[in-house]
Amino acid sequence: MKIGEFVQENKPLGWNRPPHIEPDGEGELLEVAMGPHHPSTHGVFRMDLALDGERVIKLKPVFGYLHRNHEKIGEGQSYLASMPFTDRLDYICPLTNNWAYALAVEKLAGQEVPERAEYIRLILAELTRVQNHASAIGFLLQEMGASGTPLMYAFREREKILDLFESLTGSRMMCNYMRFGGCRVDITDEWVKAAKKVVAGLPRFVDEFENLLASNEILMARTQGMGILKPDLAVNAGITGPMLRATGVGYDVRKVDHYGIYDRFNFRVPVGAVGDIYDRYSVRILEIRESLKMLEQALNEIPGGPIMDAKAKIRGFRPKPGEAYGRIEAPKGELGFYLISDGGPNPYRYRVRPPSLINLTVLEDMCLGHNVADVVLIFGSVDIVLGEVDR
């Protein structure tokens, strides 16, 4: 499908609301609070369900169990002091969070990033994407009843990537690595060698994963035609990332915004055809493959030079009054930061646009009419992290 075909103009107001489902009249409705400690909710998230037998006829997501008002904390401290806090948003992919925040501040202050730092950022972001998608698929299969094995396979590869992060940044998950105008520490030749080795081993893992799963009968039976999302609703509801691309809309911020050095790389944007769980799974697998191609290219042609802009100011950093909205393609979707500066050392307004929260907008639409057991799968295919949903 070509981009733009999803649009149907002059729809009546209210077309984008979830449909109303009538109970069949036999027996009583059952109200279930699924969560906040349900093992399938990836943290503390609750769904208030109304069930007619096994069928879901109403679903209301309930948030806030992990709310710590990240944005208020960000307003009370300097720009740089928020950088480690961004690690705690989506704690599966800290480096893309760092990048999104650094990008927004660089837009606000008009800073340049040296070429070598751009390469390092891209390598780390794509490694993050690989490990996020691998573990997202692992979690999805775990919830499908494939107890243990796929998740352990995914985590085995994820550990190799986290080892790379640890040897570079000092921490597996709380990396705190990017700075405004560059990166914190330089990569060494040994690190590049180790990264090349890890990247060279990953296609074999993806092949193995796909051989075991793509034509698996149980996986197909439980995911195909399940939780279908239509492209017009997906765009209208602000869905981004693999969720949006699985519906057939080839919208990728890496291609659209040309941030960083992504236009030097030749990569394709995989799209789905139906928009069901199986498409979301396939899009993630294909995105891993595209990321691996990019990683190979980037690791081979990484240039020398500084990793910090020489004019970047670390101490007494006060951007001029103004505002900026910067966004990147994080593994879960479009991660944006909106900053308003009043000329002081702290941001006047610090806003995170969380892809995980906004991707849940259509959870009810996708789940209505399905069985409770499938709600677990549909929810798992959205791929959220509660640290980012609740902030």
Indicate which single residue of 90, 118, 157, 334 sits in contact with another protein (rule: CB under 8 A): 334
Q: Does 185 bind another protein (CB under 8 A)?
A: no
Q: Does 233 bind another protein (CB under 8 A)?
A: yes
Give residue 227's region: left, alpha or beta (phi > 0; psi -120 to 50): left
Give the number of residues in contact with another protein, rule: CB under 8 A: 53
Indicate which single residue of 13, 19, 28, 266 sits in contact with another protein (rule: CB under 8 A): 13
- Judged by CB under 8 A, the stretch of 46-54, 156-164, 215-223, 318-326 that binds another protein is 318-326
Q: Between residues 256 and 274, which has the closer beta carbon with respect to another protein?
A: 256
Q: Which of 213, 98, 139 is nearest to 377 (CA)?
A: 139
Q: How far is CA 197 from CA 179, 201, 292, in A?
A: 27, 6, 12
Q: What share of the chain is helix, strand, coil (3-state, %, to 5)?
A: 50, 15, 40
Minimum distance between the CB of residue 236 and another protein, rounded to whole angstroms? Answer: 5
- Specify the amino acid at residue 155: F
Q: In the window 108-137, what residues touch another protein (CB under 8 A)? A: 108-110
Dihedral (CA of 202, 208, 213, 215) sign: positive
Cα 299 from chain centroid (whole Å): 23
Distance CA(310)–CA(42), nearest Å, equals 42
Indicate which single residue of 319, 347, 380, 387 sits in contact with another protein (rule: CB under 8 A): 319
Q: Does 317 bind another protein (CB under 8 A)?
A: no
Over the window 235 to 254, marking each residue x when it contacts another protein by CB under 8 A and - when it does not, the resulting string is xxxxx---------x-x---
Minimum distance between the CB of residue 117 and another protein, rounded to whole angstroms? Answer: 19
Distance CA(181)–CA(336), nearest Å, equals 18
* End-to-end Cα separation, the chain, in angstroms: 36
Q: How far is CA 305 from CA 115, 118, 298, in A?
A: 8, 11, 15
Q: Does 7 bind another protein (CB under 8 A)?
A: yes
Minimum distance between the CB of residue 67 and another protein, rounded to whole angstroms? Answer: 4
Q: Does 360 bind another protein (CB under 8 A)?
A: yes
Q: Which of 78, 95, 140 is nearest to 313 (CA)?
A: 78
Q: Does 390 bind another protein (CB under 8 A)?
A: yes
Residues that bind another protein (CB under 8 A): 3-4, 7, 9-10, 13-14, 16-17, 63-64, 67, 69, 71-72, 107-110, 233, 235-239, 249, 251, 256, 319-327, 334, 336, 338, 340-341, 348-349, 351, 353, 357-358, 360-362, 390-391
